[in-house]
């Protein structure tokens, strides 16, 4: 029986033929979602047509309204299409139902069951056995529920077809593309140079270089996009369904290469600690180096708070983790996606970039400095009505000044932590906050602590001693250790926790508290 099973739909050769002919007929590039809508409509039309043929053979299916006699064979679609033979017919007794009969049906396995016959009023008399859920033949319903899933399958199949090309989210047959004179690409480069890194839509570029448009503007634009995509000078940076161009060499440095303080040094694995150790509890620190935080939540959120660690504060970035992944724009093809940040208080906007492969967002350094953001600061990231604009919102602190930990460097690059009163502009995590003055010395300090010969255990012990100066018991919360060691080098939470568990000079007091054990204590212990 022909049925509509959208949950496990596959894209076959007939679908590919449909897609290819559709693109040829419309002469318009289309997205997988647009193609999914067409495919759904086509399949439903074919299904309904085949259903009319099936109606002719519907006599074999059980209908309570039909009159059956001994020896009749009946098929029961709602009982795994089981077939049975009528063995006996008797008069039914139920005044509320009127006149009807009861048939005794025997199945191949010897089972005997009774069913109604000649019953004029029953929902199974008009039940659509071939499509029990009528919604599955409603194109709007199917697209809303299964469109994205089908679109992803279409995109996967199209990516294996050499006759089709993709620009952003749009696909089109390569054979129909028009050729672009290299001179126009040089003009496009000049236009983007004048914009000094500001991304432009293809239409803006074509208008400025006075590119000749033929009778099909969409095809002209797609052809020009294809030519730019195959030219190493240009970078496509638009989010899903939007094409934007920049010159790769004019993209910000933090887009072209990972900022120094975000890089993870694989040498840290030499300490033999296991970050998958089952003793490690759930650690609520936003860090893109933790793989479990990169699982995108099912629920899309409109607002999310983020607590900035020192590595991200120094780089002017934030980690693309957890619910934040549902707020920021993404892309199907490009790794770098451009958008606009907007300050909720001032309304000012500035460019931001999502670096998908490295799971961070950059472009925030001026905003951090202008708004007094420090490591450990907490602020909001909000979705707006414009998908290309992300809002930043400070959260009023309990007081304009507070006693917080300060990070200091002396002339010899020796560090210390001292508690002082400082101005604060937004809420902060009391275990993660560290006041620090931005200076070139921070870079030389970081480089020195990330040399191959730098001893991580020694660094951890120094952090413990500094953090415990005002704590007679010397017991430190894990989040404080994480914030402190990440002032020196990039260490993800679970790896750091695993190292603390493994190191003999560190004693775990409970799940989140640790203590540095002095040699005198070890000998007397």
Residues paired with residue 55 on neighbouring β-strands, in sequence order: none
Lowest mean pLDDT across 51-55, 268-272, 275-279, 337-341:
51-55
Phi and psi based region of residue 288 (left: phi greater than 0; alpha: psi -120 to 50; beta: remaining): alpha
Looking at residue 247, its pLDDT comes to 97
pLDDT band at residue 197 using 50, 70 and 90 as cut-offs: confident
Number of helices (H), then strands (E), in the chain:
15, 21
Q: How confident is the model at residue 63 (pLDDT cuts 50, 70, 90)?
A: confident
**Inter-CA distances, 235 with 174, 206, 353, Å:** 20, 16, 13
Cα separation, 77 vs 61, whole angstroms: 7
User: Can you tell me the mean pLDDT for 413-441?
Assistant: 96
pLDDT at 128: 63
Where b means 16+ CB within 10 Å and e means fewer, 215-237 reads eeeebbbbbbbbbbbeeebbbbb
Q: Are strands 389-394 and 336-343 parallel, antiparallel or unpaired?
A: parallel
Model confidence pLDDT, tens digit, residues 173-185: 998 899 999 999 9
Query: Which pLDDT belongs to residue 1?
Result: 39
Nearest Cα neighbor of 331 from 245, 242, 252, 258 is 242
Tell me how far apart the alpha carbons of residues 520 and 164 are, in angstroms, rounded to a whole number: 72
Q: From residue 337, how far is each of 89, 254, 467 by CA, in Å?
A: 72, 13, 39
Confidence of residue 519 (pLDDT cuts 50, 70, 90): low
CA distance 394 to 306: 11
Residue 281 above 60 pLDDT? yes
Return the percentage of the chain with pLDDT > 90, whole number.
64
Domain coordinates in residue numbering, the chain: 6-56+132-162, 62-125, 177-251
Confidence of residue 417 (pLDDT cuts 50, 70, 90): very high
Q: What confidence tier does 524 reach under pLDDT thresholds 50, 70, 90?
A: very low
> What pLDDT, on the 0 to 100 scale, is given for residue 520?
54
Beta strands in 92-152 (DSSP E): 101-106, 112-117
CATH code given to domain 62-125: 2.30.30
Q: Note the pLDDT of residue 272.
A: 85
Query: Which pLDDT value is given to residue 317?
Result: 98
What digits encode the pLDDT tens for the residues 368-402?
999 999 999 999 999 999 989 999 999 999 999 99
Residue 444 has what pLDDT? 96
- Of 4-8, 256-260, 297-301, which has the strongest mean pLDDT? 256-260
| pLDDT of 522 strictly over 80 | no
**Alpha-carbon span 67 to 95, nearest angstrom:** 19
pLDDT tens-digit map of 460-495: 999 999 999 988 889 999 999 999 999 999 999 999
Q: What are phi and psi of 420, to 5 degrees?
A: -135, 170
**How confident is the model at residue 56, as a pLDDT?**
47
* Confidence band, pLDDT 50/70/90 cuts, at residue 134: low
pLDDT at 521: 52
Q: To the nearest whole number, what is the mean pLDDT of the chain?
A: 90
Residue 35 φ then ψ, to 5°: -70, -35
What mean pLDDT do residues 422-444 have? 96
**413 against 58, higher pLDDT:** 413
pLDDT at residue 92 tops 50: yes
Q: Is pLDDT above 80 for 90?
A: yes
pLDDT, position 461: 96
Q: Which residues contact 320 (CB under 8 A, 6 or more apart)?
A: 288, 328, 354, 355, 356, 359, 360, 361
**Per-residue pLDDT for 310 more than 90?**
yes
Q: What is the pLDDT of residue 497?
A: 97
HSE-up (13 A, CA, CB side) for residue 195: 22
Q: Which CATH class is domain 177-251?
A: mainly alpha
Is the model's pLDDT at 58 over the cut of 70? no
347-375, pLDDT tens digit by residue? Answer: 999 999 999 999 999 999 999 999 999 99
pLDDT at 168 > cutoff 90? no
Is residue 246 within 8 A of residue 338, CB to CB? The reply is yes
Residues above pLDDT 70, as percent of the chain: 94
| CA torsion, ordered 441, 443, 445, 450, to nearest 10 deg | -170
Residue 129's pLDDT is what? 61
pLDDT number for residue 404: 96
pLDDT digits (tens, 9 = 90+) for 221-231: 999 999 999 99
pLDDT band at residue 9 under the 50/70/90 scheme: confident
pLDDT reported for residue 131? 53
Q: Which long-range contacts (CB under 8 A, 24 or more apart) does 225-228 make?
A: 225/167, 225/168, 226/165, 226/167, 226/174, 226/177, 226/180, 227/180, 227/185, 228/185, 228/188, 228/202
Confidence of residue 3 (pLDDT cuts 50, 70, 90): low
Residues 185 and 164: their CA atoms lie apart, in Å, by: 22
């Amino acid at each position: 029986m022909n049925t509509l099973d959208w949950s496990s739909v596959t894209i076959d050769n007939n679908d590919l033929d449909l897609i290819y002919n559709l693109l040829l007929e419309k002469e318009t590039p289309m997205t997988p979602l647009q193609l999914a809508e067409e495919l759904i409509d086509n399949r439903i039309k074919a299904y309904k047509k085949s259903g009319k043929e099936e109606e002719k053979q519907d006599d074999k299916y059980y209908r309570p309204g039909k009159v059956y006699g001994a020896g009749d064979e009946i098929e029961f679609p709602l009982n795994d299409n089981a077939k049975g033979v009528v063995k006996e017919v008797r008069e039914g007794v139920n005044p509320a139902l009127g006149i009807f009969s009861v048939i005794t049906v025997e199945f191949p396995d010897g089972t005997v069951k009774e069913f109604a016959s000649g019953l004029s009023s029953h929902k199974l008399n008009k039940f659509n056995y071939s499509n029990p859920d009528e919604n599955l033949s409603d194109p709007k319903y199917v697209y809303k529920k299964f469109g994205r899933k089908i679109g992803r399958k279409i995109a996967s199949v199209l990516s294996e077809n050499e006759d089709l090309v993709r620009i952003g989210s749009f696909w089109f047959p390569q054979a129909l593309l028009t050729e672009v004179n290299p001179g126009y690409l040089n003009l496009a480069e000049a236009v983007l140079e004048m914009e000094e890194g500001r991304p432009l839509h293809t239409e803006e570029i074509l208008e400025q270089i006075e590119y000749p448009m033929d009778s099909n503007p969409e095809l002209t634009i797609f052809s020009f996009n294809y030519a730019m995509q195959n030219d190493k000078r240009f970078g496509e940076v638009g989010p899903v369904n939007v094409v934007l161009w920049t010159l790769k060499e004019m993209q910000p440095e933090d887009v072209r290469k990972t900022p120094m303080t975000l890089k993870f040094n694989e040498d840290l694995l030499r300490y033999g600690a296991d970050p998958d150790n089952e003793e490690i509890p759930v650690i609520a620190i936003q860090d893109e180096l933790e793989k479990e935080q990169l699982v995108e939540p099912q629920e899309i959120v409109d607002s999310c708070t983020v607590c900035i660690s020192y590595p991200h504060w120094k780089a002017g970035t934030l980690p693309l983790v957890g619910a934040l992944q549902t707020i920021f724009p993404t892309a199907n093809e490009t790794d770098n996606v451009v958008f606009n940040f907007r300050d909720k208080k001032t309304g000012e906007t500035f460019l931001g970039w999502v670096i998908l492969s490295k799971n961070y967002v950059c472009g925030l350094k001026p905003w951090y400095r202008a708004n007094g953001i420090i490591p450990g600061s907490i602020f909001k990231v909000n979705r707006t009505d414009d998908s290309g604009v992300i809002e930043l919102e400070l959260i009023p602190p309990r007081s304009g000044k507070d006693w917080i930990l300060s990070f200091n460097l002396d002339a010899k690059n020796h560090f210390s932590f001292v508690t002082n009163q400082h101005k604060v502009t937004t809420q902060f995590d009391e275990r993660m906050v560290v006041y620090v003055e931005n200076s070139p010395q921070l870079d030389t300090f970081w480089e020195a602590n990330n040399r191959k010969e730098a001893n991580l255990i020694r660094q951890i012990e120094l952090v413990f001693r500094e953090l415990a100066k005002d704590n007679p018991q010397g017991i430190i919360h894990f989040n404080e250790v994480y914030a402190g060691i990440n002032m020196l080098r990039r260490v993800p939470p679970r790896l750091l926790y695993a190292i603390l568990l493994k190191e003999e000079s560190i004693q775990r007091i409970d799940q989140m508290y640790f203590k540095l054990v002095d040699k005198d204590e070890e000998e007397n212990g």
